[in-house]
Structure 1
Amino acid sequence: MVDGSKTGRKSKGILLDFFTSPCKCRCGVPNRQARLLAGELTKNHEFPWSSTIHAIRNNTIQEIHGSLINNRYIITAASQILGLTPLDLKITLGQYDRCYADSSSTNMSVDKILMHPDFSETTGTHDLALIKLNSPVHFERRVQPICLSTPNTRYLGQVATLFGWTGDKQSACVPRKLGLPVLDQSVCISVTQNSQNQNKHCIGVVGAKSLICSDDAGGPVMFRSQGGTYELIGILSFYNNCHTNESLVYYTALNDHLSWITQNTRDACYCYKF
């Protein structure tokens, strides 16, 4: 688990850095405030931290979900980019409709990839990776970062928001969003006998079939505060399977890894949460 005292000190440091940082901005602010409906289509650039990672693997381009957390880094699932190099990746920011070319989106190259040192390909634990962009991001309406989760917060019983492009381009040109409750980890363990899920957190409705598939991995699990600010509380795991009767959605909790994230992004500036 995360060291709460160290994470708290680091979080305060990031907050203080705001006042002397060139990134005088707010994080987690969507481009539209609305009530969440199950499976609702998002509005144009509603979540401006959305990032598409174009990965070349075996001469095939794979599109992977990611989230912009500051002016230099994307966070995603390590399982999705395992074995790849920076030259294999290109990042698109500000994309909405992936079926048509969008001149307003921004394409960027990758400087380096940071895999979580404890990531296990077998069990899927610590399924996180940071992607450093080759240059700082210029924030504008379509491109803004999401806030990191609040240290030592469980979000138990709160509604988490998911969004992403599911399926092929013919069936999912624009992203959809979905709200699911955050469950206690004991429930996550009791519902499945799959040892790969023992160390993961979960959301969902027990007994209902999951709508999240393995190709949604790397996508954000978000919490919207009463003030309307979004926090990134988790990253969807590769080990979700929408083709079985598995009812829950598993993710890697950021609060378990805040120290690793902040320590490895010291050369970036974070936006203000409040």
Structure 2
Amino acid sequence: MMKSTTRQVLGIFWTTCLLPFTVLQLVRAQGSCTNPRQNSGLCMSIYDCPSLLAVVQQSYVSAQDRMFLRDSQCNNGYGRLPHVCCPIERRVLDTTTARTVTSPTRSGGQQGQQGQGNLLPSPPKCGPHSFSNKVYNGNDTALDEFTWMALLEYVDRRGRRELSCGGSLINNRYILTAAHCVIGDVEKEVGSLTTVRLGEYDTSKEIDCIDDDCNQPIVERGIEQKIVHPQYDPADRNRVHDIALLRLDQPVVLNEYIQPVCLPLVSTRRAINTGEILVVSGWGRTTTARKSNIKQRLDLPVNDHDSCTRKFATRQINLINSQLCVGGEFYRDSCDGDSGGPLMRRAYDQAWFQEGVVSFGNRCGLEGWPGVYTRVSDYMDWIQNTIQP
């Protein structure tokens, strides 16, 4: 039986590429055909054609690839609809050039490659939007939404494991998080940071499913190196430069449910304006529970920085321009357990970009008290100079 993850992607493919051909009838006979590049093939179910199925299963399907898939449809095939002209030699032509490329296997994700760890991806290789484009139960995310989200796992003195802070995958080897999730009070109050969990949705289940759609098993990686920003001081209550990188002990194999977020590179960044709506996501405290089992999302407005600075000054906290204030609405805020997670927006090429790292606030969800986030764009030079292959 085919995995439901494939069914989900194929549902998108069916809608965007083959909807005009739903009148095609299932034919028992296997027919010969010619694909858009004039290569000979057999007309069959796309589920039985690994080369074209692999194109559909990519995290991003370009307009050119969609056109190639659409033009590959045929009407004398066999097996499950939709039918496509599958190259006989099990090789598929690159849709942008004349060269042939060997198709990936059905189960293969994008491999983490050595020597590429120092590269930050740009759209369309990062920040993919949810295929399902749904929000479940109010603030619950979709199963394939914010696929860069990471959970950090700690071990206390008794050997007990606990999930606490969040983070985000920025390439196949690095996690971006908050410095206070790595050093300082967290080591005494929670434990030693040991593991990063990726591909998580519902922490109460081994395999996460919504209706008939299920994601793949979670991926856990050890931490090879913890890199806290050199100017961060865990004893400073202003919590400036609250940002850190975690180098994983081995590259991550990317798949439909594990993809990196885009970062605001000079070529893709844009100004963040007061009142603009950004999105925060995590498994932190909700109004009804200490922690949420299901990954949550919350839309919040950017707060005026000068007003926010004056507000926190009444608590003897001095903010700098590299800190971003967001929210300030009653019961709408990031909270305990969200620390280190991403503050995001859809921007260049409609991809998701991480603009902030959850840092701190005056408790949670207090009217007039915004949450404070580390502004990622101000630390791009440090990030790019720090990450290694």
TM-score between the two structures when normalised by the length of structure 2: 0.57
Secondary structure of residue in 2 paired with 1:191? helix
Residue 182, structure 1, aligned to residue 302, structure 2: yes
Q: In structure 2, how many angstroms separate the alpha carbons of the residues matched to 1:243 and 1:181?
A: 13
1:237 is paired with a residue of what secondary structure? strand
Q: CA 1:174 to 1:197, structure 2 compared with 1: closer, same or farther past 3 Å? A: farther
Distance 1:139 1:32 in 2: 16
User: Sequence identity, in percent?
Assistant: 27
- CA drift of 1:228 comes to 2.5
Partner amino acid for 1:141? E
Q: Structure 1 stretches of 5 or more lacking a match?
A: 1-16, 268-274
**Which residue is equivalent to 1:28?**
127
What is the DSSP-based 3-state SS (H/G/I as helix, E as strand, rest coil) of the residue aligned with 1:215? Answer: coil
Question: Following superposition of structure 1 onto structure 2, how do residues 186-197 of structure 1 map, counting pairs within 5 Å?
Answer: 186-192=306-312, 193-197=314-318
| Aligned-pair CA distance for 1:71 | 1.0
Q: Which runs of 4+ in 1 moved over 4 A?
A: 35-39, 168-171, 243-246
TM-score, normalisation: structure 1: 0.79
The residue that corresponds to 1:113 in the other structure is 226
Say if 1:251 and 1:166 are closer, same or farther in 2 by CA, change over 3 A: same
Change (3 A) 1:53 1:181: same
Change beyond 3 A, Cα 1:230–1:243 = closer
Please point out which of 46, 50, 54 is paired with 2:149.
Answer: 50
- Is there any run of 5+ residues in structure 2 with no aligned partner, and where? 1-114, 208-215
* DSSP-derived class of the 1:147 partner: coil
Q: For each residue in 1:15-48, what CA deviation from the matched residue of structure 2 results, as whole angstroms up to 9, or x when unmatched?
A: xx99xx8x89610113336488995210113111
Q: CA RMSD in A?
A: 3.0
Q: Which of the numbers 45, 53, 61 marks the counterpart of 2:161?
A: 61
Q: Write the letter of the residue equivalent to 1:167.
A: R
Code of the residue aligned with 2:333 in structure 1: it is: L
Give, in angstroms, the shift of residue 171 of structure 1: 5.9
Counterparts in 2 of 1:50 and 1:32: CA distance versus 1, 3 Å? same
* Deviations 1:168-219 (CA, angstroms, capped at 9, x unpaired): 88862211211112233212212332343512211114x6455322432111
Relative to structure 1, the CA distance from residue 118 to residue 33 in structure 2 (aligned partners, 3 Å threshold; closer, same or farther) is farther
> Do the aligned partners of 1:210 and 1:241 also contact (CA within 8 Å) in 2?
no
Give the aligned length.
Answer: 246
| Higher alpha-carbon deviation: 54-63 or 155-164 | 54-63
Structure index of larger Rg? 2
Structure with the bigger RCO (C-alpha within 8 Å, sep 6+) is 1
Distance 1:170 1:215 in 2: 9
